Structure formats: structure tokens, C-alpha cells
Amino acid sequence: MFSRRMKSRGFSLTELMLVVALGGTLMAIAVPVAKDLTASTKLNEAARLVERELQDARLRAVSSNRSLRVRTNCPSTGYIRSVEVLGTAVDTASNRCAASAYPYPAADTDVVTRPNYDGPVRTIPNSATVTTIAIEFAPDGTARLVVNGVAQTMATEQTLTITRQSRSKTVKVNGAGKVQLQ
């Protein structure tokens, strides 16, 4: 009687192979879905960084009563930085986004010595790219498009496109300074 009970316990080899085959099939289905979800998450992370940089620059422009520009692909592709508008040739200098020439935080805290409100050079994460554009936020919170170093009133909403692996998201900025991630 005892030996018969021992034989009926456990799984047969057929049952075990069936469970392994079912698990393998589920994994084969789940891996592409997980990769797609990861790619989407990485694009969203990059788009949120661009949107936050624009929002932060607008807030700092209003709170400091200084005009700030957000420059994408500055100092090179894949970077973004907000810089204080000085109203001089420095605003369009080729090294304006270089952290070595214009460090963050500023070398001194004297309000007379400018720039004091430059932000850090941020890397757009996950090998994402963004449209090259410069948007200036005025102390009243409004936004202007910068073309050849000159801030111009925005006639239409400006769209920044963030792209990663043939997928894209957009961030829109209107003349009132409203920033929207879409």
C-alpha cells in the first residue's frame, strides 16, 4: 500500500514538458511587447526632459525678472540648455552653451555680474534627438521665437519634435508661454 502511494506522487515527464512549452510560448509573446514598452518609456523620458526644461526656464524668467532662452542642440546635438539673455553679442556667441565658458552655477553670486541665471547643460536621454530651436521667455512669461539671435513675436505655436528610433513626440509652445507635451 505504501509503495503504491509513492508511485502516484509527482509529475510525469509529459506534464513537465507541456508546462515548459507553455512557458516558452508565453515568453516568446512577452519579450517583443516588453521591448516596445521600454522604447516608448525612453522616448517619453526624453520628451518630459525637454518639456520640463521649457517650463523651468519660463518659471525662472518670471521669478528672476530676466529673459531666458532655451536652446536645443546646444552646445551640440543631443543637449539642451537655458541661458540668460544679456542683450549683447554674447547671446549669439558660439560658446554660449559651453559649460566651460559659462559654468553652472555661475562663478559668482554678484547680481551685477551677469550671467547669473544660466542653467546646466542637460543631455537628452536615451539617444533621442530634438528639433533645433531657441525660444526666449520674457519676464512676463510670454514666449518668443529666436531667429538669427533676434527674438520675434510668435505668430504661430512652435513645435519641438523629440525623436527616438523612428518614434516621435512633440512639445508645443505658444506666444503666451504655454508649454504642452503631446
Over pLDDT 70: what percentage of the chain?
Answer: 93
Structural contact between residues 82 and 74, judged by C-beta atoms closer than 8 angstroms: no
Q: Give the model's pLDDT for residue 3.
A: 56
Contact 154, 143 (CB under 8 A): yes
pTM: 0.79
Cβ atoms within 10 Å of 23's Cβ, excluding its own: 10
CATH code of the domain made up of 13-181: 3.55.40.10
Domain ranges of the chain: 13-181
Euclidean distance between CA atoms 110 and 114, whole angstroms: 8
Q: Which residues pair with 70 in a beta bridge?
A: 82, 135
pLDDT in tens, 167-182: 999 999 999 999 999 9
Cell of 174: 505658444
